[in-house]
Amino acid sequence: MTKIIDGKEISKIIRAEQKEKVELFKKNTGITPGLAVVLVGEDPASQAYVRSKRRACKNMGIHSRDYNYPTTISELEILKLISELNEDDEIHGILVQLPLPKHINENKVLLTISPDKDVDGFHPQSLGKLVIGMETFFSCTPFGIIKLLEYSGIEIEGKHICIVGRSNIVGKPMANLLLRKDKTGNATVTVCHSRTKDITFHTKQADIVIAAIGKPEFITAEMIKDGAVVIDVGINRVDNAEAERGYILVGDVDFKEVSKKTSFITPVPGGVGPMTITMLMYNTILSATRYADKKRLEN
């Protein structure tokens, strides 16, 4: 019988663990972990995401500072703000909510964030360290997936894992996390994408399938072998006249049919989503800890 991986419940467990860590950290160092979130524009999804981050910070005892700007803000102003935050000792993590307006170069913005405060794990230095196995910040969504598997008692080592999607946010860092020489790594990894000729051939062989392609219900039951684990990263709005909001949220997996064949599966919503913010909090606390260690060595 299929087991549903409850991202909300696992997220609560990790947040409770980290909250205790924050309280002890504050007591021992007098330092409060701090996160700065930069939001440009009024995209409803981005605003909702930022509100969730603010609530998580408050609940976990993390200092949160928001910077909200209209789309007319210049690239130079954003870069100046980030440079100031890089030097701010009260801020240990900097997150710039993407996407940014077209007149602002996202790569330039991400490169300006200090790697020491790159709690989103998107800086090339963070990604480069991940690839060669050095200590670094892991991208939040892939890191959250690792924790979902770990807390569900699903073994990763030695398993064949197929990732559908090769984005810089999920697919690529996910593959490198799974390849690490670690108990939550050491997997055999296949990455499929829009140019893969026969995706089903690859997914059908996988012990674990991670769907992050951004297409509603793309993964069907015929693409999954019996007993596989399926992690659905996608969250897509599909028009539905019967729904109160006029749409419903679905993942990249046909949950109803695929769940009949799986051993474990994540729902949408309530699966991977809650873990992304949780791991952002985790990384912010880790960054503050590293900052305190550095200060102690300097003194």
Task: Supply the residues annotated as catalytic.
Answer: 53, 97, 120
- What is residue 97's DSSP assignment? P
Cβ proximity of 200 and 214 under 8 Å = no
Structure tokens that stand for 184 in this block: 């939550």
Which residue type does 253 have? V
Distances, alpha carbon 161 to alpha carbons 206, 220, 227, in Å = 5, 17, 13
In this structure, are residues 97 and 67 in contact, taking their beta carbons and an 8 Å threshold? no
**Do residues 295 and 160 make contact, with C-beta atoms less than 8 angstroms apart?**
no
Q: What are phi and psi of 279, to 5 degrees?
A: -75, -25
Q: What radius of gyration, in Å, describes the C-alpha atoms of the chain?
A: 20
Residue 138 DSSP code: P
CB atoms inside a 10 Å sphere around CB 260: 12
CA distance 143 to 170: 9
Q: How far apart are CA 283 and CA 18, in angstroms?
A: 10
C-alpha to C-alpha distance for 299 and 253, rounded to whole angstroms = 53
d(CA 170, CA 259): 22
